[in-house]
């Protein structure tokens, strides 16, 4: 993992147990009682042209890295793995990504032909009841892409990070029609929108927003606070959705960092074992699901994960779907 820089990471670090933090290519914790946690939010779905000319890509998922001490008693962490935003998405998925169809309205078959759904957040919670109050760490999901008659510029914003990235709305001098990223204190505000069917985008705590006109704007990404959906305006604008924000609960971790995605580039994109987790959906393509994995030295000390294995003296627990990991005070 690269040593975090001011330009791409936010968080709090304790350096007391790092033996060689001057060499960023060999950055490692020496203490064998450390649990490393790697998290990626899901990517937003790309838009389809529908009756217009172009669909735009969604935004990529944000990321987080955290360090915990191996416990002296049994401890469980409850995990949400964000599901990818889909093209023309009309049903909610894990992690709070918004839907491209008009939320709160009856779905009419064939009416949702433009925008992409928002990617869901991924994170750890202290309880099976997942709320902002029980959240320990979150990586935000990317916003969905929008459509245009001009080009592929109405793209979704990347997931957070402390703040989710705003979507894009570059045509006809209408930047306010882009969805807004969630922050540490509030969901993204509604984008401007012509002929809106409602004033409620449904973005909020752990939830990304849906467009104010059915299918005519990329949905917001899920996050600690969700991003808002893009707005609609003739003749070239169905704005991209904003990304959801990430979060770190103070006092929970030895060290933790959030990485905001930038457009279609995932947060902590070069992280080992990431694969395609958090990738943005290209135009007319679905995004990629998020992922969480745990790594620690020695033999298994925990149960949980859909892929658990040992290699090179380390144990890994991978979560590609939501679940629970339970750590014990001694090897199993």
pLDDT digits (tens, 9 = 90+) for 199-249: 899 999 999 999 999 889 999 999 999 999 999 999 999 999 999 999 999
How far apart (Å, rounded) are the C-alpha atoms in residues 147 and 57? Answer: 9
> Could you report the per-residue pLDDT of 88-117, keeping only the tens digit for each?
998 999 999 999 888 777 666 667 889 999
Q: Which domain holds residue 259?
A: 1-332
Strands (E), 108-259: 122-125, 135-139, 147-148, 232-233, 237-238, 247-248, 255-259
Number of other residues whose CB lies within 10 A of the CB of residue 7: 5
pLDDT of residue 15: 33
Dig out the tokens for 98 from the structure: 């918004």
Going along 48-102, which residue ranges are E strands?
A: 54-55, 63-69, 75-80
User: Region 134-151: what's the mean pLDDT?
Assistant: 97
- Four-point Cα dihedral 4, 7, 8, 10, nearest 10: 70
* Span 150-166, average pLDDT: 97
Number of domains in the chain: 1
Do 322 and 79 meet the contact criterion of CB atoms below 8 Å apart? Answer: yes
21-53 pLDDT, tens digit per residue, is 333 333 344 557 899 999 999 999 999 999 999
Residue range 254-306, pLDDT digits in tens = 999 999 999 999 999 999 999 999 999 999 999 999 999 999 999 999 999 99
């Amino acid at each position: 993992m690269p040593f975090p820089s001011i330009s791409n990471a936010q968080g709090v670090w304790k350096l007391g147990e790092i033996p060689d933090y001057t060499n960023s290519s060999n950055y490692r914790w020496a203490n064998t009682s450390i649990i490393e946690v790697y998290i990626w939010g899901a990517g937003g779905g790309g838009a389809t042209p529908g009756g217009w000319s172009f669909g735009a890509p969604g935004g990529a998922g944000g990321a987080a890295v955290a360090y915990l001490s191996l416990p002296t008693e049994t401890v469980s962490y409850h995990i949400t793995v964000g599901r990818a935003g889909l093209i023309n998405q009309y049903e909610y998925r894990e992690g709070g990504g918004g839907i491209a169809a008009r939320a709160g309205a009856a779905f009419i078959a064939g009416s949702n032909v433009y925008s992409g759904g928002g990617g869901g957040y991924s994170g750890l919670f202290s309880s099976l009841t997942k709320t902002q109050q029980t959240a320990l760490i979150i990586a935000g999901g990317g916003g969905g892409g929008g459509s245009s008659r001009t080009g592929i510029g109405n793209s979704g914003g990347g997931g957070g990070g402390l703040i989710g990235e705003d979507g894009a709305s570059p045509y006809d001098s209408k930047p306010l029609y882009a969805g807004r990223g969630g922050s540490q204190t509030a969901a993204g505000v509604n984008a401007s929108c012509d002929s809106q069917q409602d004033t409620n985008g449904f973005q909020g705590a752990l939830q990304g927003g849906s467009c104010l006109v059915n299918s005519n704007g990329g949905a917001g990404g899920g996050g600690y606070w969700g991003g808002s959906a893009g707005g609609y305006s003739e003749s070239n604008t169905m704005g991209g959705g904003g990304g959801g924000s990430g979060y770190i609960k103070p006092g929970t971790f030895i060290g933790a960092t959030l990485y905001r995605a930038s457009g279609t580039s995932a947060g902590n994109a070069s992280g080992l074992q990431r694969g395609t987790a958090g990738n943005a959906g290209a135009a007319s393509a679905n995004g990629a699901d998020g992922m969480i994995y745990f790594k620690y030295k020695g033999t298994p000390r925990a149960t949980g994960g859909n892929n658990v294995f040992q290699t090179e003296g380390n144990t890994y627990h991978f979560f590609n779907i939501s679940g629970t990991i339970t750590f014990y005070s001694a090897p199993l």
